[in-house]
Structure 1
Amino acid sequence: LVVVDSVAALTPKSEIEGEMGDSKMGLHARLMSQALRKLTATISKTQCTVIFINQLRMKIGVMFGNPETTTGGNALKFYASVRLDIRRIGAIKNGEDIIGNRTRVKVVKNKVAPPFRKVEFDIMFGAGISRSGEVLDKAVDLDIVKKAGSWFSYGDTKLGQGRDAVKQMIADNPELSEEIETKIKEALTQE
């Protein structure tokens, strides 16, 4: 596994050697195009996974369509087998402190499976993706956990009020989490 953290930070040699104010159009795009032509065969032969992390930029003067674009030209878009659009859609707070992010991931391109799928999940700082949040969300989607207003119930048991409280209860109660997960797996295998 190779991760290139930020395509935007890759700098062509001529830009490093040049003066500060020099304008060189398309250098970054040419660098990416050439690099991907060279790397594609090697990546395929070695059965390696390469993850490119990129940033969004705004196109100037776009009147219609999406003004957002990624750096490095179009080569990366064409060569990629899977492209994911990952966005923060909200903050998870504990009082005034932000303890995580609610994140939405959309599959923009997929050569190996159906594209345009979306998923939302919690990323907790210092812990990663919240497993208890995933279990709760999927259980609610599959009607294993019932949601009425802000109250959640599992069978005849009231789990609690508010998503965060129920998420914490599932995290603190491994037997309950395991039981709900088993029912989720059973429901998914029947589909």
Structure 2
Amino acid sequence: MNKPNNSDIIQIHQNAAGYPARLLDLYDPPNSLYIYGDIRLLGFPMIAIVGSRKASHEGIKNAHYFAQALSAKGYLIISGLARGIDGAAHLGALGQKKDQPTIAVCGTGLDNVYPREHQRLAQAIGSSGLLVSELEPGLGPKAWHFPRRNRIIAALALGILVIEAAERSGSLITAKIGLELGREIFAIPGSIHHPLSRGCHQLLQQ
């Protein structure tokens, strides 16, 4: 599969039959979604796996392992296509042959893969899973796009697993939104000396 062309990308409006009802739990649900891939996956039970872009080697291994294990149990893994934990979760869900479904919610238009090094990963996800964005094609990455992407991840998921996170991070914002929406929140503990364990320990403490 090549990079999605505008003609390959489908737009689903909020009042359309294929629009995910779980997004309506948000106070500001997207007016429409742009999707590329298998639209039927939007109705599957999803678990979000999120975490640091600067993840440790152990964090990467954990994200890959839990994504693979949860996929085998019938859950669809959803994440944000970012470096670190997100990318590892998508790869774990795709499986060895990279032909199992996973969903990536993007902080850009679907014809503009970010980060650039995830071009092949996005292609694999589009072939066997689903790429989703509320941003129209042609839009590149902006800082404010990613918190808005995170609220979509939180709303679509039944539960959110945080692998590694600093005390102030987008992953904790995703977990906070999920908690407000009544989603299950999970976190993996780590070393008390590791700064990327602090966010997870904070969640466990709460």
**TM-score, normalisation: structure 1:** 0.27
Decide which structure has the larger Cα Rg and report it: 1
More contact order relative to length (CA 8 Å, sep ≥ 6): 2
TM-score (norm 2): 0.25
